[in-house]
Structure 1
């Protein structure tokens, strides 16, 4: 081969193939996708300014209600619930006190926990069964209603 041909092939390899190997291009967009217009420098600056403001605000421990108003509503409700519950010791606190007392005090505390869990499970199971039975009754009533209407329709066809 001539030197000129070899140089052209090496040049093409570096320019096209090597670039594609090092930095592969993504698949082209589907035909139904409309390309957005490019942003102006002013729009880019405004976006950067807003993003940096939000980023700087995120470094503060309490960023305020103007950025996350929904979180503050939840936090206030949680504090109200916490004030009500502060009078009763939590389960963990109860267990910690019982564990310090030894096995004699730990056993009744664990039994209380198991009994409350069992009663909660039993109540949930009862409410589920009750709801299931109500659903079955509704389905059966619908079937009876549809059966009555179909029987009436059959009787009217026989009469004519």
Structure 2
């Protein structure tokens, strides 16, 4: 090959292929996607300000109505209703995730029993589900066997009537 051809091929490799290998381009957007306009510096600052406020608020255990307004609307509902004999006030038990978060802050000594509780509840739920499935399966098999026996007795009864 001529030196000019080799130089052109090396130049094209560096210009196109090497750039694509080092910095691969993503797939193009589908045709129905509308591109958004770029944010101004002021809008970027406002987004960063709001994101940092939400991030800082998430470090508190009770994050308040700012981050989860739907949860707080549910809590306010029973207070607005008149109290009756059926309404009992119960303290809200912490969820499993909250228990694990608190235990994780306490270190490995507190995390191990919390994880054991989670595993034991999952195992017991799995065992109960498996036990109920087996019972239901056995009932279904028993019903099918009874239907087969009934159909056999009916066929025998029919054949005895026909032969006599």
The TM-score with structure 1 as length reference comes to: 0.47
Larger radius of gyration: 1
Higher helix share: 1
